[in-house]
Structure 1
Amino acid sequence: MPNAWMPDATRVEDTSPQGMFLGGAPRVVWLTTETDPTLSSARNAAHQLTSRGHSSHLVWNPVTGEIVQPMPVTAAALGQLDTGAVDRATEGRVCVIIRVIGYATSPFTNQPLHGLGSILTWLDSWEVPRHWPTGSPSARPLPHRDPQAERLWARGGHFGHSQVPNARPSGPGAISTERLLNWLAPRPREGKRPSPDPVEATDADPGTKAEHELAGP
């Protein structure tokens, strides 16, 4: 049984409404807080967000690697993906809401992604497919409704907030979905413990990807 609480995340209190999932393919939705990751800690951001009724499963500062978890992944973050007609946050076996400290106008994948490996490993345990059905989010999402959105949403996987069917927000911006999802856990060297940071897959050797520490783009 996967863990409802991410092992490497710090728990923080959240009194926001929580609901039940309706079933279906598991998915993750990535949002941005529209705050500076060099000035805001994940803990402070989580407290500010919950005080305004913006709940989430994870709040992540990719610059520092700090991750906090306000609510268990087994509970739906009610109202966070409300498109007017339906609350998308209740759809799926899980619908994980991840708020990344950063701006939609400055894609967070253009900077270090400390802690990403732990997040992906946890999402893998919940069988969230590592694919992005709708393709990379746009810097300026089109306001009209995509007729394919419902079909792609039903497949599960990873989505930007702007790609939720009938959603209007602009976040998370033009992030690199390839860089975000294409991280591998480093192989432990003999006699040494594995590094806590993930490594990015390279094209140099598809069979055994080169190991290196996380760094900025």
Structure 2
Amino acid sequence: MPARQDGGALRGGAPRVVWCVGEHDPRTVSARSAAADLLKDDRPPHLVWHPGTGDIVQLLPVTRAARLLGGRVGREGRVCVQIMVVGQSRAPFTGTLLTGVDAIVQWLDTWGVPRRWPAGPPLPSPQSYHARRSRKDWARGGHYGASQVPLVDRPDPGAIDIRRITGPDTPVAPIPKPRAPLSDGATPPRLLPRPPRPQEPVRPQEPVRPPQTDPPPGRPLHPAPEPVPVGPSSAMSN
């Protein structure tokens, strides 16, 4: 049952695969039934897989983007395979038989998807709503849970055992170590007070000049008389 419309052309980049869970009860829902629901909602992935029965339904060619993740992120990568697993986040599907998982992973190998999980194991639900969704991890390519995809607000697939999918030799991203506690007898660092600021030198005040007053109104301004020479009386003219 191929989908009529895909997500468009792929944009290039590291090849990757995203594992999703559709919150279906695997005891009552088949792969074909889940695929039909996704087609009805216009959200087809590339594959729908039932890990209990091993049934696989391919809805789109891997050379085209799927529509399950939505947005631009689903078109990133030389391939960005989107797999819908018939299961539930609260009961990780890796606790079942995983019939057909080897065939799926070997098929992904042929498309260059490396067997690694750059973001580490997916978190359990509902903690997975607060997963990192790092662009740096996403750019490396490999295997991801839907809760680890940037800009995608999904909690699935839950706390799956990634080594049951990609093998026991799968490298796992290191978990950040907590800070080491202080040993007995060690003194915590002291908080030093802030040194006082140097005082600025006091500048001498300039003398205050008396304000210049204007002449009273109504009195005319006369020029100053010319100076009279002072000397012997004989030098003076009549």
TM more than 0.5? yes
Cα distance in 2 for residues equivalent to 1:142 and 1:112: 24
Provide TM-score, normalisation by structure 2: 0.67
Per-residue deviation at 1:145?
7.1
1:15 aligned onto 2:15 = no
Do the aligned partners of 1:32 and 1:101 also contact (CA within 8 Å) in 2? yes
Q: In the alignment, what sits opposite 1:97?
A: 82
SS in 2 for 1:77: coil
1:1-217 mapped onto 2 (5 Å cutoff): 12-78=1-67, 80-82=68-70, 86-139=71-124, 140-141=126-127, 143=129, 146=132, 149-182=134-167
Q: Distance in 2 between matches of 1:29 and 1:20?
A: 17
- Larger CA Rg, structure 1 vs 2: 2
Partner of 1:8: none
Question: Which stretch has the larger CA shift, 26-35 or 45-54?
Answer: 45-54
Distance 1:32 1:109 in 2: 12
**Alignment deviations for residues 132-190 of structure 1 (CA, whole Å, 9 cap, x no partner):** 000111113354573x7101100000000000013211100010111111179xxxxxx
Cα distance per residue 1:69-121 (max 9 Å; x no partner): 0110001014x323xxx521100000000000000010000110001111011
Partner of 2:221: none
TM-score between the two structures when normalised by the length of structure 1 = 0.73
Distance 1:181 1:81 in 2: 22
Aligned CA distance change for structure 1 residues 15 and 145 (closer, same or farther; 3 Å): same
Using the TM superposition, give the Cα deviation of residue 17 of structure 1 relative to its aligned residue in structure 2, in angstroms: 3.2
Q: CA RMSD in A?
A: 1.8
Q: How many Å separate the matches in 2 of 1:35 and 1:145?
A: 23
Q: 1:175 to 1:145 in 2, by over 3 A?
A: closer
Gaps of 5+ in 2: 170-238
Structure-2 separation of matches of 1:126 and 1:54: 23
Alpha-carbon distance change, 106 to 159 in structure 1, aligned in 2, over 3 angstroms:
same
What are structure 1's unaligned runs of at least 5 residues? 1-11, 185-217
In 2, distance between residues paired with 1:145 and 1:100?
Answer: 20
Secondary structure, in 3 states, of the residue corresponding to 1:131? Answer: coil
Identity between Structure 1 and Structure 2 (%): 46
Counterparts in 2 of 1:180 and 1:61: CA distance versus 1, 3 Å: same
Q: Tell me: CA distance 1:75–1:183, structure 2 relative to 1, closer, same or farther (3 Å).
A: farther
